[in-house]
Chain A
Amino acid sequence: MKRRSIFLTTSATLGFIFLYAPMIALVVYSFNKSKLVTVWGGWSLKWYGELFRNEQIIDAALLSFKIAFISASVAVILGTMAGFVLSRFGRFRGKMVLSGWISAPLVMPEVITGLSLLLLFVAMEGMFGWPSGRGTGTIIIAHVTFCMAYVAVIVQSRLSQLDETLEEAAMDLGAKPSSLFFLITMPLIMPAIISGWLLSFTLSLDDLVIASFVSGPGNSTLPMVIFSKVRLGVSPEVNALATLMIAVVAIGVIGAMYQMRRQSKLLATEE
């Protein structure tokens, strides 16, 4: 028994090292003074300065944040509707269709999603004149489509864990369906909605393949700019950018965990 647990701890620790070593190296090398990425030239913040002076990266980052914000917000609304419908409406006509379509984007290779949406936009433009040209709008539509699937899955699994007695009590007391949803169900699934939004935001911010297909000239998102830089080799500015992103995510996740722990402690003392 003892020996196996040593084996287990060692291999799990190696797994964690495997997960974190490349990222730690990236962070350390972002403070490297030398232009040659592998030669250590002392600590420096030089590349952060370069990063903030690089207008192409800044513009792309702003565009990506805008797209991610709008996509996540629309995806949360549509995804919550889909998740709610699938777990609370019992049987209805078209349920199989909706549940199949909503889970399919999760497993669809990105190149197929990207290509099919682009061809749709081109065909629609030919037939109805909309969307005229491709750019921010078409990227947002594409991102909403695959992000709503993630939101629906999260909301659905939260709803299935949820105690229905509160909703039943509200119904017995005569709540209208709309007030039932907005006053009872929605506050109860708020954690799922928030994590769905955050997940959609990061997925949208991160997407390279789909955005490359459906974007137009002059609408390069941050991943597209990073990809074109990185394709030519390692770049110190990208290291600095990666470090900033890792820092933001780490702070966000630690903050969320702290908040959750405090809440569960509060609940424990109340009981």
Chain B
Amino acid sequence: MSTPTGSAWVDGSGSRLTKFNFIRRVNWGRLSVVSVPTLWLAIFFFIPFLVVFKISLSESAIAVPPYTSLLEWDLEESYLNLKLNLGNYLYLFEDTFYIDAYLSSIKIAGISTVFTLLIAFPIAYMIARSKPSARGLLLALVILPFWTSFLLRVYAWMGFLKKNGLINEFLLGAGIIDQPLIMLQTDFAVYIGIVYTYLPFMVLPLYSALEKMDMTLLEAAEDLGSRPATSFFLITVPMAMPGIIAGCMLVFIPAVGEFVIPSLLGGSDTLMIGRVLWDEFFLNRDWPMASAVAIVMLIVLVLPIMLIRNSQGKEEAI
């Protein structure tokens, strides 16, 4: 993990390194080092979105590939025929199913993010306040599950939450309940799955914000008669704010598009947009509709968050 450095205020993005501009002389080497990753991302990251946008404007067809093409050469009349089909988008807004799915994804991801924050904060705070020698071990304990399979971690909860699973067996055995609780295939299970799998993403940025905090501030507040709760909300929380924002972004954004967790832990009525897109593509084989769902998801959910993130300065979260 990162060692505490005194240069937290130095912008590391290379402002001092313009000296390296001597590389300008060897233009070819420089150019190729810049262009290889840029080209790769252009072809395999950026252009695909244009393709998705194009296909979202076509119509579903029984063909290979299963959509109509936008441009058609009419050979007899020799003109180019451009067919744009906005039907997919209109349908998205007409059928409340899709709007419900978007809203429900935001709701589920939002609630899960709040719970992740509530659970991650004490862990991060405790690690940041523990002896420096113990911090490495405690951080490793938080990160360790992250290195094991995400799918298997979600799967582990299936065994825990199902009707004759461990939690029910335990509660029944202890006499706390006399009917097994239905937990698997509910929204509750989805919340647990998201909180569980994304916890490290929240703990790490919180920790790096809390670790930098000056403890003497709290002592000063105490000396001046502030109660612990007041100090917490007036000093600790504002100081941890960059970590809180970074952590919430890292949990909320992927959670909105989550597919594995709702399909393994959620019920058939757990509506999430990632799952709708998957079904539209794999079950209905309606590629244009799936593309329209993806484009709206991108515009409504992902773009605003990325813009906010950029305007707030580049908080390095990982």
Contact = CB atoms under 8 A, between A and B. Distances in A.
A193 interface: no
B38 A101 contact: yes
Contacts of B258: 109
Given A23-B153, A91-B18, A249 B318 contact: no
Interface string A88-131: 11111010011011101101111110011101101100100000
Given A119-B287, A153-B318, A109 B297 contact: yes
A213 B259 CA distance: 13
Contacts of B228: 1, 4
B37 A109 contact: no
Given A120-B48, A123-B51, A249-B148, A161 B123 contact: no
Contacts of B21: 90
A23 B49 CA distance: 38
A252 B143 CA distance: 13
**Chain B contact surface mostly:** helix
Contact of B52 (A110, A116, A178, A233): A116
Interface residues of B, number: 103
A60 interface: no
B30 A89 contact: yes
Contacts of B253: 107, 109
Contacts, number: 270
Interface string B137-151: 100111111011111
Contacts of B17: 87-90, 164
A142 B164 CA distance: 39
A241 to B, nearest CB: 8
Contacts of A97: 38
Given A78-B37, A88-B17, A177-B26, A246 B260 contact: no
Contact of B147 (A117, A177, A178, A202): A202
B302 A116 contact: no
A57 interface: no
A194 to B, nearest CB: 14
Given A145-B45, A250-B144, A242 B30 contact: no
B291 interface: yes
B22 A26 contact: no
A185 to B, nearest CB: 11
A91 B19 CA distance: 11
Given A119-B52, A202-B147, A242-B152, A22 B196 contact: yes
A117 B50 CA distance: 11
Contact of B150 (A85, A87, A206): A206
B95 interface: no
B160 A85 contact: no
Interface in A149-167: 150, 152-154, 157, 159-161, 164
A61 to B, nearest CB: 12
Contact of B260 (A142, A209, A260, A261): A209
Nearest to B105: A109
B66 to A, nearest CB: 10
Contact of B38 (A12, A94, A161): A94
Nearest to A83: B37
Interface in B265-299: 274, 277-278, 281-282, 287, 290-291, 294, 297-298
A8 B125 contact: yes
Contact of A25 (B44, B129, B140, B156): B156
B140 A257 contact: yes
B192 to A, nearest CB: 9
Given A90-B14, A90-B21, A250-B144, A157 B166 contact: no
Contacts of A239: 159
A119 B151 contact: no
Given A38-B169, A98-B37, 10 more contacts: A20-B145, A22-B160, A88-B14, A90-B17, A109-B256, A111-B274, A111-B294, A145-B40, A157-B316, A206-B149
Q: Which 7 A-B pairs have the closest CB atoms?
A: A109-B257, A160-B12, A116-B48, A22-B156, A12-B126, A11-B122, A82-B37
14 contacts: A8-B129, A78-B40, A86-B14, A87-B13, A104-B45, A107-B305, A112-B297, A157-B318, A160-B14, A161-B2, A164-B16, A177-B23, A177-B29, A242-B155
Interface of B: 2, 5, 7, 12-14, 16-23, 26, 29-30, 33-34, 36-38, 40-49, 51-52, 55, 65, 119-120, 122-123, 125-127, 129, 136-137, 140-145, 147-153, 155-160, 162, 164-166, 169, 196, 199, 222, 228, 249-250, 253-254, 256-260, 263-264, 274, 277-278, 281-282, 287, 290-291, 294, 297-298, 302, 305-306, 309-310, 316, 318
